[in-house]
């Protein structure tokens, strides 16, 4: 059987552009539920925001590295997990936080600031942890990540829709009140469907290797959610904010991960399967967790 480290998946430039557009729609669907006042309140009390970013960009990559030392997966799988951990919070984390009864404004603020920070922090975390972990070092030596290209991708995919969505909500709240919930559900469905369809051309490889990957993705996602909860608890955040930090840490932007993997790593099999599995599983685990959380109101 062909090694997962030798498999290169097919993913056309057109598919990447569609993926960017899909992620932009998801971000826009969240942004239309927010106003500038939501962010002003966070600026007056930035502790939760800083704790969330610390959990996401420091704690999660460290835990990922420890997990790799213990489980020792194939190099491409390991680098896929590192890439996912280095990405900012996923757009759907905002939707899931809202469903969980957590601080959606905090979640979106984390996503927005982490997204801008990802221009530097995502390549830096990939380089740091990928080079520290010996099995992935050789893959990185053959790869060049262009920060400018990452910046443009992130800006068009996440930052611009965020600004447009908030602007629409300020100018025409009557429109956003009608479309926000249907658009959130529709964008979630479109994102999930795209991941499945985009991998259909590689379905044989995906099914061949998903068994080796899924257990690691399950553990990684569980550790991410747990680390977010524990970090927020240690810093004594309110339950309202703790839900946002937990979900924001455990719901990573695997869509951005896929974009980076196909743009810079030529669709390396183990990496792509990890990001795709994350894209499907974290939505399931996140929605399940939100359903449990939403049964009780979070104290603010």
Question: So what's the pLDDT on residue 1?
Answer: 44
Spatial contact of 222 and 282, defined as CB atoms under 8 Å apart: no
CB atoms closer than 10 angstroms to residue 197 = 11
Domains and CATH numbers, the chain: 13-293 (1.20.1530.20)
Question: So what's the pLDDT on residue 145?
Answer: 66
pLDDT, tens digit, 9 for 90 and up, residues 178-232: 887 788 778 777 777 776 766 666 677 777 777 778 899 999 999 999 999 999 9
Collapsing DSSP states into helix, strand and coil, what is residue 268? strand
Whole-prediction pTM: 0.84
pLDDT, tens digit, 9 for 90 and up, residues 48-59: 999 999 999 999
Please count the CA atoms within 13 angstroms of the CA of 31 that sit on its side-chain side: 22
pLDDT, tens digit, 9 for 90 and up, residues 120-144: 888 889 989 999 999 998 888 877 7
Mean pLDDT, all residues of the chain: 82
């Amino acid at each position: 059987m062909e090694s997962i480290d030798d498999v290169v998946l097919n993913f056309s430039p057109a598919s990447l552009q569609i993926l960017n557009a899909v992620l932009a729609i998801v971000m826009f669907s969240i942004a239309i539920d927010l106003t500038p006042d939501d962010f002003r309140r966070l600026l007056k009390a930035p502790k939760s925001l800083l704790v969330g970013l610390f959990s996401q960009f420091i704690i999660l990559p460290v835990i990922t590295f420890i997990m790799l030392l213990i489980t020792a997966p194939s190099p491409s799988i390991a680098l896929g997990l590192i890439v996912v951990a280095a990405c900012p919070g996923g757009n759907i984390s905002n939707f899931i936080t809202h469903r969980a009864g957590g601080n959606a404004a905090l979640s979106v603020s984390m996503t927005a600031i982490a997204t801008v920070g990802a221009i530097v922090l995502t390549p830096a975390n990939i380089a740091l942890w990928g080079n520290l972990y010996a099995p992935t070092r050789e893959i990185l030596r053959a790869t060049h990540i262009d920060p400018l290209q990452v910046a443009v991708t992130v800006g068009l995919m996440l930052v611009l829709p965020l600004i447009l969505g908030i602007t629409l909500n300020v100018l025409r709240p009557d429109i956003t009140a009608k479309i926000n919930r249907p658009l959130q559900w529709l964008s979630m469905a479109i994102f999930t469907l795209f991941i499945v369809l985009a991998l259909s051309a590689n379905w044989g490889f995906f099914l061949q290797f998903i068994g080796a990957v899924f257990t690691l993705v399950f553990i990684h996602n569980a550790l991410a959610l747990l680390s977010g909860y524990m970090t927020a608890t240690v810093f004594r955040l309110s339950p309202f904010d703790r839900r946002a930090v937990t979900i924001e840490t455990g719901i990573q932007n695997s869509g951005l991960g896929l974009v980076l993997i196909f743009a810079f790593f030529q669709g390396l099999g183990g990496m792509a399967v990890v990001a795709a599995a994350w894209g499907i599983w974290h939505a399931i685990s996140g929605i399940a967790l939100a359903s449990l959380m939403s049964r009780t109101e979070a104290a603010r």
